[in-house]
């Protein structure tokens, strides 16, 4: 898919590390210019911008809390002023605050829902008018297999990721006539920096669930996202693609 995204502009949220960073690089390797959204991760985002620019692509890091609608509007305005358009939106920003439901605080519920689910709404709501006007767009939302099956101690996270699936399917129906595709990718356990610090027994349990006998890495997800953004996936919309090594099937 080399240069399959030539002359395209992508906005990736939560791009300072993990799946977001890998996705931003994958899109750049395929020809896209990239807006790197982050929240208080200036050093990491700046390093990623440097890597993208080394690939000959244009990049810009923007610090923005995706749970805040006004802040998102300002970020999108700046991105359009700088790049002229937004062709691709990747909603990757996400947080966790795990607890069993009878111990989960209201603030833990709200923070996860506001970033993971409302953040997707804020970005799609703000970017879609630009995509409608240009009659083209690719939107990929990062969900999770735990949004499909549930997870002990993650009622807030699972609910947010399940909500992303419903949001994906609804907006795919609404935006399709404007040649905008909307899909979701649902990773299993991926060895990001955050996950590497999980107790070994947790990682081993997830590993035992997989059919392939390996845990994923961010690039496994990023390559699927890049495919969904390419013209090769022009007839795919409203889908949820698991990238989990057979962890949930």
CATH, residue 156: 3.40.50.720
The CA-based dihedral angle spanning residues 191, 197, 200, 202, taken in that order and rounded to the nearest 10 degrees? -70
| 213 DSSP assignment | S
In a domain, 26, yes or no: yes
**Cα distances (angstroms) measured from residue 234 to each of 34, 74, 171:** 20, 30, 16
Which residues are annotated as catalytic?
157
First-to-final CA distance of the chain: 28
Q: Are residues 23 and 226 in contact, defined by beta-carbon separation less than 8 angstroms?
A: yes
Give the rounded percent of residues in the chain with a pLDDT score beyond 90: 94
Q: In terms of residue numbers, what domain contains 37?
A: 9-241
In a domain, 246, yes or no: no
- Please report the pLDDT score of residue 2 as a whole number: 61
In a domain, 129, yes or no: yes
The structure's pTM equals 0.96
- 19 C-beta neighbours (distance < 10 Å), count: 27
| 13 DSSP assignment | T
Tally the domains of the chain: 1
Residues of the chain falling short of pLDDT 50: none
- Please report the pLDDT score of residue 196 as a whole number: 72
């Amino acid at each position: 898919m080399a240069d399959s995204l030539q002359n395209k502009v992508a906005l990736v949220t939560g791009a300072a590390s993990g799946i977001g960073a890998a996705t931003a690089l994958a899109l750049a390797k395929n020809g896209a210019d990239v807006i790197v959204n982050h929240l208080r991760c200036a050093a990491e985002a700046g390093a990623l911008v440097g890597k993208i620019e080394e690939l000959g692509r244009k990049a810009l890091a923007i610090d923005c809390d995706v749970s805040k609608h006004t802040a998102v509007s300002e970020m999108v305005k700046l991105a359009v002023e700088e790049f002229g358009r937004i062709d691709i939106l990747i909603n990757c920003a996400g947080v966790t605050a795990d607890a069993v439901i009878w111990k989960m605080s209201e603030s833990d519920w709200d923070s996860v829902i506001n970033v993971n689910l409302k953040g997707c709404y804020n970005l799609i709501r703000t970017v879609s008018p630009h995509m409608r006007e240009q009659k083209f767009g690719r939107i990929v939302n990062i969900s999770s297999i735990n949004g499909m099956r549930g997870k002990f101690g993650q009622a807030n996270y699972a609910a947010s990721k399940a909500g992303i699936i419903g949001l994906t399917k609804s907006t795919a129906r609404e935006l399709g006539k404007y040649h905008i595709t909307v899909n979701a990718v649902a990773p299993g356990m991926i060895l990001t920096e955050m996950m590497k610090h999980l107790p070994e027994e947790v990682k081993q349990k997830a590993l035992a669930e997989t059919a392939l006998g390996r845990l994923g890495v961010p690039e496994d997800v990023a390559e699927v996202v890049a495919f969904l953004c390419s013209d090769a996936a022009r007839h795919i919309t409203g889908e949820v693609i698991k990238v989990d090594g057979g962890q949930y099937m």
